[in-house]
Amino acid sequence: MFTYKQDFIRVASCSPAVSVANPSANAKAILDVLRRAKEQGARLAVLPELAITGYTCGDLFHNSLLLQRVEEAMEEVIDYCPEGMTAIVGAPVQAGGALYNCAVVLTRGKVHGITVKTYLPNYNEFYEKRWFTPANAAMPAKVDFAGYSDVPFGTDLLYNVYDTLVGVEICEDAWAPIPPSCRLALSGAMVIANLSASDDVIGKYAYLRDLLRQQSARCLCDYVYASAGFGESSTDLVFDGKNIICENGRIVAESDRFCADSKLAVADVDLHAIERDRRHLMTFADCAAREVDGSLRIVLASDVISGNLPCYFKDEDVPMINRKVNPLPFVPADSEHLAERCEEIIHLQATGLRKRLRATGCRNLVVGISGGLDSTLALLVAVRAFDLEGLDRRGIHGITMPGFGTTDRTYRNALDLMEALGISIREISIAKAVTQHFADIGHDSTVHDVTYENSQARERTQILMDVANAVGGMVLGTGDLSELALGWATYNGDHMSMYAVNAGVPKTLVRHLVRYFVTLLADEKVAHTLLDIIDTPISPELIPADEQGNITQKTEDLVGPYELHDFFLYYMLRFGYSPRRIFHLAKGAFAEKFDESTIAKWLKIFIRRFFSQQFKRSCLPDGPKIGSVTLSPRGDWRMPSDAQSAEWQKECDKICQSLHNNF
């Protein structure tokens, strides 16, 4: 089994300026762009199809002088390729009396292998079979090229590039019903390189981006696509130059198009994440077992590393370039997709609730309204579900239950919101009941400990459950995914409900969902109330307010910033990252907001709470799955409640110790 020693590898998609039918000029342009890629630390550089000649040479491909100059120019590229880098360059290659459209894999002073294009297009403007022969069983397994003998040749090659398996396909190959990259990925390739010369027409770029994203997702791989750009013949076509780097369904880097000079896109691609998903998704391994016969040749395609290129890291902390780490991984970065995502999430929540209403025959919901974000979102989703079902909103029974820590601000917002949405409103103070409970169990009410807090939470849940019985309804849970991860809920208190509509929504996303409702609702009073709820500090309000009536118990002061905890949660569950790896990514994502010590502190607390609070997640009420990260014990997260966190804590301690030693 091939063992991956790296976490990331830095790759470059390069489009040098083209001089049609001028291999010598193209060699200089190729070397120039390779040097630029080397300066940015790339270990693997992918260039376009037929980059050494230009794609649009036409019948000149059969001219003996051009083919002679190809090998001479490729010798120059091989001799002067930057050290510490593997380059994949498109070139025509003669073999067995035929001419093939190929990708030449090289390092300085060595040609490691040549991959042949499998599928040749037969469009009117791209009739490659006029000049080239597609890959076939009769072609030789080795060829002589550019002064090098016995170079591996064919479509059955995988390249070991600095301990990373790389597969190669060429342009049209990716458009085939079963692209060669499928077999290459199933055989172990983590990175797929595509050398292309795709012209541009209206709408093609958007289609191509989707095609590459989907192929990287289907193959669970990193996909590096480089296409010919400025300088290709414009006799009938225009080549815009496309440099796209995808990773398991998303684009991590791309360059500008329509540039009049050489350009490149550089990114660190995540091998660890790819390996984890392949290990986790059984369909990949099952498909490999059915479709792969193990006949591919693995070719070492690396040179001796010279210098200290910052292209990958394992234990050392090497900064990443051209790979933006979103500090809010649950939240789309651009506003257009954010609105679309919010609407989809609300539909998922509302649809799950509608199904539960129909299944139970309930026409009444009971929900505790605190004036905070979570209960606000639950109420808004309930209103959406009732409207879609054609049910009277008065069947939603909103109950505000002021206690010892309730502030005028949250109390007023709760009432205003319920009134504006036209639901049934009830106010039931918990103060008298909890005071009696303290007397019953012998608790001193001046001691604001966990008993003081949890008694209030459980009293509120008892009220909700009993009212639900009285009206023939069910209790709608308000707790969110982040609270479940941290165990920030009172066991059998706010931890329990009949349907937990927010269970799949992390705290950082709740705020955006509530803000999205502001754009949907025409009522200015509702909008004003929602905006004030968004601006209110997150708090369970179980400790009395200060003398000015302000919230004293702020959740993020106690358990840490939800931005950090959601980041930790995402990368631990989605990719199975270790604390050290999460810490490294968090440093880059939050460089302008949190220092390293702060990140390390809250990461350690997150790990401790995540493990110790599993028992609460083991008996969660039903709730809809929203994204790829969920904590339902019946679905995506199966974990024993008494699992030990010792190894994770040790790694956190090492991080903290390292930071201490650096000061």
Residue numbers annotated as active site? 49, 117, 171
* Residues 158 and 184 sit within 8 Å (Cβ to Cβ): yes
* Residues 468 and 475 sit within 8 Å (Cβ to Cβ): yes
Q: Is the dihedral angle over the CA atoms 221, 223, 320, 334 positive or is it negative?
A: negative
Residues 6+ apart with CB under 8 A from 209: 244, 251, 254
For every residue of 532-560, DSSP letters joined together read: HHHHSPP----S---TTS-----HHHHH-
H helix count then E strand count, the chain: 20, 20
Q: What share of the chain is helix, strand, coil (3-state, %, to 5)?
A: 40, 20, 40
Of 55, 103, 104, the residue nearest 78 (C-alpha): 104
User: How open is the CA angle 180-47-190, to the nearest 5 degrees?
Assistant: 45
Q: What is the chain's alpha carbon radius of gyration, rounded to the nearest angstrom?
A: 30
Give the span between the Cα atoms of 188 and 486, in whole angstroms: 37
What is the 8-class DSSP label of residue 592?
Answer: T
Give the span between the Cα atoms of 502 and 623, in whole angstroms: 7
Give the span between the Cα atoms of 440 and 436, in whole angstroms: 6
* Residues 451 and 493 sit within 8 Å (Cβ to Cβ): no
Q: Kind and range of the H or E element at 258? A: none
Between the alpha carbon of residue 530 and those of residues 171, 385, 422, 514, the distances in Å are: 51, 19, 15, 7
Give the span between the Cα atoms of 127 and 61, in whole angstroms: 13
CB atoms within 10 A of CB 622: 15
CB atoms within 10 A of CB 445: 13
Give the span between the Cα atoms of 651 and 219, in whole angstroms: 32
Q: Provide the H-helix boundaries in 472-523.
A: 481-486, 507-520
Q: Kind and range of the H or E element at 368? A: strand 365-368
Burial degree of 62 (CB within 10 A; 0-12, 13-18, 19+): middle
Give the span between the Cα atoms of 134 and 332, in whole angstroms: 42
What is the 8-class DSSP label of residue 249?
Answer: T
Q: Is the dihedral angle over the CA atoms 216, 219, 223, 228 positive or is it negative?
A: negative
* Residues 115 and 154 sit within 8 Å (Cβ to Cβ): yes
Residues 6+ apart with CB under 8 A from 338: 331, 332, 512, 516
Q: How far is CA 474 from the centre of its chain?
A: 36
For every residue of 109-171, DSSP letters joined together read: TEEEEEEEP----BSSS-BGGGT-----TTS-SEEEETTEEEEEEES-EEEEETTEEEEEEEG
Long-range contacts of 254-261 (CB under 8 A, 24+ apart): 254/209, 255/13, 255/15, 257/200, 257/205, 257/229, 258/230, 259/229, 259/230, 260/17, 260/230, 261/17, 261/230
